[in-house]
Each structure stands twice: as C-alpha cells, then as structure tokens.
Chains A and B, each alone.
Chain A
C-alpha cells in the first residue's frame, strides 16, 4: 500500500514554496502568538485565579496561571497546524489547484502531503517560539529546559497537521470543516487537561481525554516548562508520533481517492 519510491527529499521544495508565501505575510501572522497568550494570562490568570486559588496537579499545588500557561502553548500548536492543513491546504488543493500543478512535475502526491503536514508543524514551531520568548521573559517557563518546547511543538504540529490533512481529504466543501472542529477540536480544546486537570472530569470521561492528542501535548508542555506532569513523557511522545503516522497514512489514502481519478 505504501510505495517507498514515492518518498524523497523533494518534499522540501513544496515546504519551501509555502515558506516563500509565508514570508509575505509573516508580519501579520506573528502577532497572534505574541498577543494571544498575553490576553489569556490577563483574562484567566489575573481575572480567574482569584476565584480558583491553586490547582492540584501532578502532586503539586500550582497557581492557576502557572497551570494554564503550558497548555496555551499546546493549544497554539494545535490550532496552527490544524488550521494550516485544513483551511490552508484545502484552499490550495481545491480553489488554487496548486496540487494539480505540482502533480505535473516529478513530485509525488505523498511528497506534497508530507510537505503540507511538515509545513503546518513548522508554523506551530514558529508560534511556539514566539510564545516561548514572551512567556519565558515573564518567567512562566523554566529555561533552558523550556527550549524543549520547540522540538515538542514540531512533533505536536505533525500530529495535528496529519489529522487536519485527513479531514481535507474527505471533506466535500470548505464550510464543512465546522463539523470536525465542533465535534473533535473544540471538545479536545476544553477537555484535555488544558484549563483544568482531567482528574476533575467525571470518571467515564477520563479515558476519552487520554485519547486526545492535545492531552499528551499539554502534558509534555508542562513537563518541559514547569517540570511536572501526570503522564509518562515517553508514552505521550510515543502517542503523538503514532497519531501522526496513523493519520498521515490515512490522509495518503483519502487524498489519492480525492485527487487521482
């Protein structure tokens, strides 16, 4: 099913194409990761923490702000990658016919898909790096250990980029991305131990939270920025990698079915 000859470093050419386009708009794109965490910290950290006090997590008592800051990085990683391979890739594939043009060159469809996913992960890395700078300066992230958030953002970005690409392969029209966002991303955003520990969830919901890639990403983000987590580091990294591989393979199938007729 997987044809090894279809994979080569040529995928970097497609990645580079996206970079060329990004260079024109980066000035706008970097504002979000710069200011968004500040808004959240203001709203939740300052506004909310008075109501909450401390959060019991991983055997320690954390201030609410300290608890959510790593999760903010994790969700930014998720949104950046997921939006890129859903809306971004869909526009390129469907409206701009960019993939059609590429397929008249020696590029394989697999390389195009890999490039899109890797590109989405790169955008996650860029966002995480900017956030890390801000949050590190404010003292919310321990350094130098926090630098591990950069490679983590890449792995997390791959996982969310891959599932986004899969949705792009099966979704009939662009408005229908609402559906996976509503059914999958939003619940994940809220219930992955991002804004409160999953131990506060009803018992029957906890296994679902454990299946969310965002849960593992947020866990790892906490491990790397404040040195505490509730799940094994290797397990969480392994989960993200398996998730990425699984949905990448699924998206090869979906995109082939969609584009190659």
Chain B
C-alpha cells in the first residue's frame, strides 16, 4: 500500500517547550486515520505541520512522498484542510466562498462553478448559496468548510475537529457525508474529541498526550487491548469489593464514588459482583473507545 503520510520522530517546540515530541506514524491511501488526545495534546500542532502551516522543529515528514518545506505547492494542491477555527470568509457569500477558494487553487472557472454546485448539493447548502456566511448556523458553517476543503478534489483530507460544537443531528449528518466520501477512496486524517465519532469513522487511530503517542491501532483492537470487552461500573464500592479485586488481580479504576472494573476475557464477573458487592447501582456494559481514552490519558482536567 502507498503511504500518503509518513512521519518519523516529528518534533515541534514553542520557546523550548515541546508541543509535539517525537511522534511517528504513517497513513496509507484510502485510510481514515484518527488523531485523538485531550486538550493541548498537540493534535492541531501536528496537523499544522502536516499541511505546511508551521515549519517542523525536527524529524521527518513526507506527504505523497514529498517534502512539505520545499514542495508545498504541489502538496497543497492535492490536499484539503478543514481548520479547527472557522476560517470561512465572512465578506463573501456561501457560494462566493467556494468560487474564490477555487481561484486560489487555480481551478478553471467553469470547472470551479460546476464543482461548487455539486458540493453545495452534496452538503445540502444549495438553498443558502446566496446567504452571508455569518447568517449560517454552526452546522451549516461546518458543512461549508467541509465543502470548501473539497473544492480541489483532494486526495488527502485533513480535518481538525470537524464536528465540535454541532448538535447530534448535524454531527450525524457530517458523519454520513464523510462515510460517503470514504467510498470514493479519499484518505482522511481527523482529530476529534468524540470517541463515538472516532470509533465509527476511523480505520486506525493514535491517542496522543503531552505531544507523545500513547497507543496506536484500530478502534476495536484498542478496546480489546486496553479496556477488555466488558466493563462493570459499581457505584458506592465498599472495602470488601476492593479486597476481592486485589485478591484476584482484576484490573480496575477507583474513582472514589465509583469503581470501574475491566472484566477479564472469558470471565463472567457480572453475576458475582451483582450478588455480592452491589450496594447501590451496578452497570454492566460493553467497553468503548472512551474507556480506553480515559484510561490512558487519565481523568484529570487539562489546561
């Protein structure tokens, strides 16, 4: 498989402090690749280096086999970027945003107009094409940014939190659109704080924290490896339970008022717990990527 992105020991420091610290990964053509991590983990910094916005401090970074610092024009012509901030042009209408952006890519006018029409259609924005950007709802604005990032038919799409701040309906709509895009063979790098989004969309992902990669793998694989298949949440755990778990060497997280027990493969702990230790409320559920995330990055607040 062809590597679209190759990163090796990539470092970015701001005033001597490393925001990205020796990360390495690769992304293959057609993959949906996730970059997860708490606030300040270094996701946006990584992404900015990817599309040539920030120069790297150290390390190797190749996109389509080319070096971004010298061949940025060729590379940028083939990628689409959806930045974390809203960078739509508020001086222009919805449709003009697409037309003007197409100009930056030197797309011929006829093609640009056609492509804009298709994209407005695809993202259900046709009825708003003459609206000002500031009149759009958050969801529409996000869809327009996505549409804009696709104007040059990119082979690689880079999305920095494309669904942050959207309501569930809008988020699901974006997911559906991204899934449709996936059918076309496009390669995507996405950051998100929604674990459900990452599970649903990503073929493979890395979890980063403090500028370092903690783990990488497919969502299912990570869940298996770091959170078992099932989890039992026990509210108001007592000493007896903790002793029982220590004795059997079960893995658990003690959150004071709540205890999270990772059920080992092939054991049915649910009944035992329910019968013997469930004082208040016990929940038996499938593990999710969110469990993996919290387990690996801790539960403390960031920033």
Contact = CB atoms under 8 A, between A and B. Distances in A.
A83 B104 CA distance: 25
A96 B91 CA distance: 9
A4 B268 CA distance: 68
B59 interface: no
Given A96-B91, A103-B53, A261 B14 contact: yes
Interface size grouping (class) on chain A: 20 to 34
Interface residues of B, number: 30
A14 B103 CA distance: 8
B242 interface: no
A142 B278 CA distance: 98
A10 B79 CA distance: 18
Given A105-B101, A260-B54, A21 B83 contact: no
A13 interface: yes
A97 B85 contact: yes
Contact of B76 (A14, A20, A100, A106): A106
Contacts, number: 70
A100, A102, A104, A108, most chain B CB atoms within 10 A: A104
B17 to A, nearest CB: 13
B10 interface: no
Nearest to B96: A20
A17 B85 CA distance: 20
A114 to B, nearest CB: 14
Contact of B55 (A21, A24, A260): A260
A134 interface: no
A16 interface: yes
Contact of B83 (A13, A20, A101, A261): A101
Contacts of A261: 14, 54
A104 B76 contact: yes
Interface string B46-84: 000001111100000000000000001100110101010
A1 B152 CA distance: 31
A106 B152 CA distance: 11
Given A21-B92, A261-B54, A102 B85 contact: no
Given A20-B96, A260-B54, A261-B54, A106 B89 contact: no
